[in-house]
């Protein structure tokens, strides 16, 4: 689904990502972890072409992202940003409907099919009861689910999520992760930057670890969470307590 070849991204003369090569299989939930400043957000923004790689290339289903038109790319990959904030009043329904725009021609009206897709996205994220409310009135967890609904409305095969459970309470965090599992089971490919390492271990099929802009490792979760890896990357000790990882300085 997604291939990254020798990706380097330099900003203001400083390398943020260096020589990253990865492959992500379709129909899986892939976790992306690393310390703050390791390049997780920058990698996601390169994939969806908010940023342009300094060198290397990114392939979606074998096609170079740089050769895709913007609307075509938006129909293939959707980004759910970290701590999304909408600074103007807009109905939840209208915000989710914006996910259909990549499929519309200029001035083309919305069809019954577009509206049905939006309804399904609202139901999938359990936000249909919020449809008439302004996004500015919602809690952080509710906004996060609405933004995922908008991503679903695009029908993109690849969904990128930048710390989708950051700043959420336990209940909303679990709701988001369980939703991602359902989407995976329905055939979506998901790449999520996560700050909760236990979530990454529990839910993800593969885990990618970045350290200082370089690829440290990529593979099954049980390999990524080796004690020596946690010590080298996060500078913490790591032991298993029941079904959870426990970290110590």
Question: How many Å apart are CA 229 and CA 245, to the nearest integer?
Answer: 13
Half-sphere exposure of 113 (CA within 13 A, CB side): 5
pTM for the structure as a whole: 0.92
CATH number for domain 2-248, candidates 3.40.50.720, 3.40.50.10490, 1.10.10.10, 3.40.50.300: 3.40.50.300
pLDDT digits (tens, 9 = 90+) for 16-48: 999 999 999 999 999 999 999 999 999 999 999
Question: How many Å apart are CA 181 and CA 120, to the nearest integer?
Answer: 17
pLDDT digits (tens, 9 = 90+) for 187-203: 999 999 999 999 999 99
Does the pLDDT value for residue 54 go beyond 90? yes
Q: What token pair was written down for 51?
A: 């940023």
- 75-to-52, 103, 104 alpha-carbon distances in Å: 18, 7, 10
Question: How many Å apart are CA 249 and CA 208, to the nearest integer?
Answer: 22
């Amino acid at each position: 689904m997604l291939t990254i070849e020798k990706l380097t991204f330099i900003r203001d003369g400083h390398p943020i990502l260096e020589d990253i090569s990865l492959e992500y299989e379709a129909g899986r939930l892939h976790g992306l972890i690393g310390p703050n400043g390791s390049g997780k957000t920058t990698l996601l923004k390169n994939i969806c072409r908010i940023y342009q790689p300094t060198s290397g290339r990114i392939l979606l289903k074998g096609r170079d992202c740089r050769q895709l038109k913007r609307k075509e790319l938006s129909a293939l990959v959707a980004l759910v940003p970290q701590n999304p904030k909408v600074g103007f009043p807009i109905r939840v329904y209208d915000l989710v409907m914006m996910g259909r725009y990549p499929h519309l021609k200029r001035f083309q009206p919305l069809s019954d099919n577009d509206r049905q897709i939006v309804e399904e996205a609202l139901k999938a994220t359990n936000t249909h009861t919020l449809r008439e409310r302004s996004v500015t009135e919602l809690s952080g967890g509710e906004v996060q689910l609405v933004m995922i609904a908008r991503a679903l409305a695009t029908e993109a095969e690849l969904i990128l999520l930048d710390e989708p459970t950051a700043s959420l309470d336990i209940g909303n965090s679990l709701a988001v992760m369980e939703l991602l599992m359902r989407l995976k089971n329905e055939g979506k490919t998901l790449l999520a930057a996560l700050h909760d390492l236990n979530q990454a271990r529990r839910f993800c099929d593969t885990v990618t670890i970045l350290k200082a802009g370089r690829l440290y490792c990529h593979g099954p979760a049980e390999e990524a969470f080796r004690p020596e890896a946690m010590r080298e990357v996060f500078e913490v000790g790591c032991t298993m307590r029941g079904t959870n990882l426990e970290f110590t300085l």
